[in-house]
Amino acid sequence: MRLPIYYTSLPQEQNVCQPLTTHNNTLQTSINGGQPINLETITSIRSSAPLYDFFSVIEENCSVNRQRLDKTIPAFLVDSNNNFIQSNYNYLLIPEKTLVHVFKMNEQYQIEYIGLEQKEKYRPYSFEELYGENCQYTKDCYWINTLGFLELKNFVAQFYKIVNFKYVSEQEQERERDPKKQKEQEQELKIYKRFISDFLPQQQSPDGQMLTRITERDNIIKNITFMNMMEEFIALINLNYECNFTNKFVSFFNTNNTNQTSTNDLFNGFIIIMVRIINDRTTSRYVIPEITDTDKYNKFIEDKLKKKEHFTFFKLSLLELSSQGTLFITNLNFITFLYKKLQQYKETNDHINFLATIILLNKSNFFDGNNITKIKDAYGFINLANSLYRFSELEQLRRNFNKEINKNENAQFIDFLNQIHKFINDLNDVRKEFCDNGIGYCNEIVN
């Protein structure tokens, strides 16, 4: 766990948020001592953790010359790339030369106090500037690939503001030729409405623009933004879009020239690891049959895979090292092999669907370089911070917080994969709803 939540390298006399430093020192001491953290410390941390309620925490805990940082002394939150996080609308329109107190989400996922800087040094998010060509590519398939103007069913409005739409049916157009006399019907996009509520809540900025905001609840888009991996996220959405409407996904298997013997060996090693994890974490004591007894071996694998309570163990096994010295989950050749291999077993649709998401994540460069370590570090912080807000009942809060402190980082990484997987599946449901209703770019492509 990367702690403290708040950090500054400035001398004590320049640290404008001394109460945050005090709270975090208390937390660090408790963790280093290996003792459960008491409720008084947890409630203090909750009241002073700036991840979700940045401005109220800063105003309450930070001051200059005994004057709190309020609207008279602006405070800015920027990401690790020094881009102003636009969700903090409070000071979006103040003059560029204004001196502001800058807080930064640093590489260790801590809120770091930087000091006084001019506002003009920090710019709002602009995907055109940040991601250049990749953003240009996404113009007509951005987010769920139907942004823009809807021209079907006599309806014109910006896509992301729609939850209900009115249209004139073909029967009504035939019955009444005068457009002014035609009766409109109204329909609600229920799946899309739920999707927007879960992933893309909107808030109006001071200049009237509708902007996606960071919510207090756990949200994969918030977390991706938090990790500065939005470019990979856009690539994931684009790739998923292509795979929905073309044979792009099939091509991943056609280019796979992996040696069959090698991948079979990896698969057998994967099964050994999965059974070991099951035996370690349950009261079961399974013994794997001899590989040479093909029928009994395959039946054993099928029985273990189809048990719903073993699905989490299957996911955890993907995060283990293979005999080739790489994680199973980052070995695209093995993952595509596993995807095809599991199709021979019954009741493994959940496994296959999950592996499809893993293939897309690999192809979208989510797992390039040090990204897995980065995601694990981030989700350690995210899960800990979430636990501060998950329960109002204090004893539940204490138990849950101490549980999160000791949570295995692989289990936290599975949380990330599950959220991405849910987003992709919900996204596909939204696309289907748009196609079923004959609106948006998805429908045009299908046609």
| Residue 47 scores a pLDDT above 80 | no
State the pLDDT at residue 164. 63
- pLDDT class of 339 with cuts at 50, 70, 90: very high
Q: Which residues make beta-bridge pairs with 68?
A: 63
State the pLDDT at residue 86. 44
| Residue 381 scores a pLDDT above 90 | no
* Mean pLDDT for the stretch of residues 313-329: 94
User: Residue 212 contacts by C-beta under 8 Å, 6 or more apart in sequence?
Assistant: 87, 200, 201, 202, 203, 221
Side chain identity at residue 95, one-letter code: P
- pLDDT class of 67 with cuts at 50, 70, 90: confident
User: Residue 415 contacts by C-beta under 8 Å, 6 or more apart in sequence?
Assistant: 379, 383
* Mean pLDDT for the stretch of residues 125-134: 44
Between residues 78 and 225, the one the model is more confident about: 78
| Residue 76 scores a pLDDT above 90 | no
* Mean pLDDT for the stretch of residues 339-361: 93
What DSSP string runs through 227-247? TT-HHHHHHHHHHHHHHHHSS
Q: How far apart are CA 210 and CA 85, in angstroms?
A: 15
| Residue 61 scores a pLDDT above 90 | no
Q: Residues of the chain with pLDDT > 90: what percent?
A: 22
Between residues 37 and 126, the one the model is more confident about: 37
Between residues 391 and 264, the one the model is more confident about: 264
Burial of 204 (0-12, 13-18, 19+ CB in 10 A): exposed
State the pLDDT at residue 43. 75
* Mean pLDDT for the stretch of residues 360-380: 86
The dihedrals phi and psi of 113, each to the nearest 5 degrees, come to -80, 125
Between residues 328 and 242, the one the model is more confident about: 328
DSSP structure class, residue 293? S
Report if pTM > 0.85.
Answer: no
Averaged pLDDT of the chain? 76
State the pLDDT at residue 395. 83
Q: Please, are residues 330 and 362 in contact by the beta-carbon 8 Å criterion?
A: yes
User: Residue 262 contacts by C-beta under 8 Å, 6 or more apart in sequence?
Assistant: none
Q: Which of 180-184, 185-189, 225-229, 431-435 has the weakest average pLDDT?
A: 225-229
Q: How far apart are CA 298 and CA 303, in angstroms?
A: 9
State the pLDDT at residue 103. 85
